């Protein structure tokens, strides 16, 4: 009995000094500010989280993995809910409304730098967060255009994705779209893109109006890059700056934390759009640097490395460039 009592005293003392054993679920809720409408809802969210926690632990414990997974805002969500954070729909005819597309000149790829990284470039706007609105297409289109405008005129600019969500009739707002269609709309219909400060983001389709006279940046030329040609994409990055691409997202991508993403379990259909802002090599693996639109809590402060040269998740099939007028 004396030994049991002494053990209990020691346990209580350790709890006082070091705190109660960590509860991953409560830590996750507190870190991400998660609140739920009912006990049943929280129970389901906890179940989702624990399944994701097991997946993350299993992956990270394997030897020779090239990337690490981690918890973020998606860890308690279902696959269906995750799909609301995507938003790329490839048109049945990818050349639709591309009468203004400029032909891409044959580029010199032999003199490419071994690495290129625009993440700290003055013309690249801060990472944004599309929220629960499937308009990754708009963020990809605007991200590339912001850089192109700054590159031409020397002034950083932050443009409005909301304008595209509300008014681009070639696309479907929060239900998906395509970055080339967005450039076509901005060039031929809207007369340019308005500044974000004048038309802020709401993560839903609105019925508001804006003054077209306030548009700031217009599109010059734009077009598809040759498919499955990584060196040409590298050359385009050097010549134009960041380029838009479409990818097929899988569950592991949602919880990507660091390293070079190499998961081949992607679907056959692209469903999200991001911006490629550079390339490099880690150990022996070539990679693209992608800028996502899920906030800085995803990946490496909003960026990720995706294996280059193998068309992982279809990243080298639908690359496109844009210039400013």
Position 3 scores a pLDDT of 46
End-to-end CA distance of the chain: 84
Task: Indicate if the pLDDT at residue 17 is higher than 50.
Answer: no
Q: 61, 92, 108 — which closes off a domain?
A: 61
Q: Does residue 143 share a domain with residue 31?
A: no
Position 93 scores a pLDDT of 65
Task: Indicate if the pLDDT at residue 281 is higher than 90.
Answer: yes
Q: Which residues of 17-55 are buried (b: 16+ CB within 10 A; e: fewer)?
A: eeeeeeeebeebbeeeebeeeeeeebeebbebbeebbee
- pLDDT single digits (tens) 31-62: 999 999 999 999 999 999 999 999 999 999 99
Q: Does residue 246 share a domain with residue 143?
A: yes
Position 96 scores a pLDDT of 42
Contacts of residue 14, Cβ cutoff 8 Å, sequence gap at least 6: none
CA distance 301 to 210: 32
- pLDDT single digits (tens) 178-213: 999 999 999 999 999 999 998 999 999 987 766 566
Residue 175's domain spans which residues?
A: 72-324
Position 291 scores a pLDDT of 98
Q: Give strand pairing partners of 303.
A: 291, 300
Position 9 scores a pLDDT of 45
The candidate with the shortest Cα–Cα distance to 241, out of 146, 127, 132, 158, is 146
CA distance 157 to 123: 8
What is the pTM for the complete model shown? 0.89
The candidate with the shortest Cα–Cα distance to 140, out of 16, 282, 318, 263, is 318
Flag whether 66 is in a domain.
no
Query: What average pLDDT is seen over the chain?
Result: 89
Q: Does residue 263 share a domain with residue 125?
A: yes
- pLDDT single digits (tens) 238-277: 999 999 999 999 989 999 999 999 999 998 999 999 999 9
CA distance 255 to 304: 11
Q: Does residue 260 share a domain with residue 150?
A: yes
Position 310 scores a pLDDT of 98
Q: Does residue 264 share a domain with residue 162?
A: yes
CA dihedral 29, 77, 290, 54 (to 10 degrees): 80
Q: Does residue 121 share a domain with residue 9?
A: no
Q: Which ranges of 62-93 does DSSP label H, i.e. alpha helix?
A: 79-82
283, 299 contact by CB (below 8 A): no
Question: Averaged over 156-176, what is the pLDDT?
Answer: 95
| Strand 256-261 relative to strand 303-307, pairing | parallel
Flag whether 157 is in a domain.
yes
Flag whether 67 is in a domain.
no
Packing angle, helices 24-32 and 39-61, rounded to 10: 110
Position 15 scores a pLDDT of 45
224: how many CB neighbours lie within 10 A of its CB?
16
Position 213 scores a pLDDT of 64
CA angle 264, 124, 247 (to 5 degrees): 20
Question: Residue 244: which H helix or E strand, with range?
Answer: strand 243-247
> Which is higher by pLDDT, 160 or 97?
160
The total number of structural domains in the chain stands at: 2
**215 band by pLDDT with thresholds 50, 70 and 90:** confident
Q: Does residue 280 share a domain with residue 136?
A: yes
Q: Does residue 253 share a domain with residue 193?
A: yes
CA distance 161 to 137: 9
Share of the chain above pLDDT 90, in %: 80
């Amino acid at each position: 009995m004396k030994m049991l009592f002494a053990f209990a005293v020691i346990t209580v003392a350790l709890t006082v000094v070091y705190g109660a054993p960590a509860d991953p679920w409560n830590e996750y809720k507190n870190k991400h500010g998660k609140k739920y409408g009912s006990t049943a809802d929280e129970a389901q969210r906890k179940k989702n989280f624990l399944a994701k926690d097991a997946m993350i632990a299993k992956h990270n414990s394997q030897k020779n993995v090239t990337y690490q997974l981690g918890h973020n805002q998606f860890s308690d969500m279902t696959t269906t809910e995750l799909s609301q954070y995507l938003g790329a729909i490839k048109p049945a005819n990818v050349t639709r409304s591309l009468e203004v597309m400029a032909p891409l000149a044959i580029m010199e790829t032999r003199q490419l730098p071994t690495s290129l990284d625009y993440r700290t470039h003055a013309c690249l706007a801060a990472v944004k967060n599309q929220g629960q609105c499937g308009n990754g297409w708009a963020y990809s289109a605007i991200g590339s255009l912001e850089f192109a405008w700054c590159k031409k005129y020397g002034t950083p600019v932050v443009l409005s994705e909301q304008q595209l969500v509300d008014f681009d009739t070639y696309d479907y707002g929060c239900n998906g779209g395509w970055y080339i269609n967005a450039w076509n709309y901005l060039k031929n219909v809207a007369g340019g893109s308005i500044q974000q400060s004048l038309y802020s983001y709401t993560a839903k389709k609105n019925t508001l109006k804006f003054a077209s006279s306030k548009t700031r940046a217009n599109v010059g030329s734009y077009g598809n890059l040759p498919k499955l040609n990584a060196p040409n994409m590298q050359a385009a990055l050097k010549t134009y700056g960041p380029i838009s691409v479409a990818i097929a997202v899988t569950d592991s991508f949602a919880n990507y934390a660091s390293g070079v993403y190499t998961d081949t379990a992607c679907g056959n259909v692209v469903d999200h759009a991001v911006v490629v802002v550079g390339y490099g090599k880690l150990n022996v693996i070539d990679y693209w640097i992608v800028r996502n639109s899920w906030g800085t809590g995803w990946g490496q402060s909003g960026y990720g490395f995706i294996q280059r040269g193998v068309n992982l998740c279809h990243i080298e099939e639908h690359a496109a460039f844009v210039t400013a007028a």
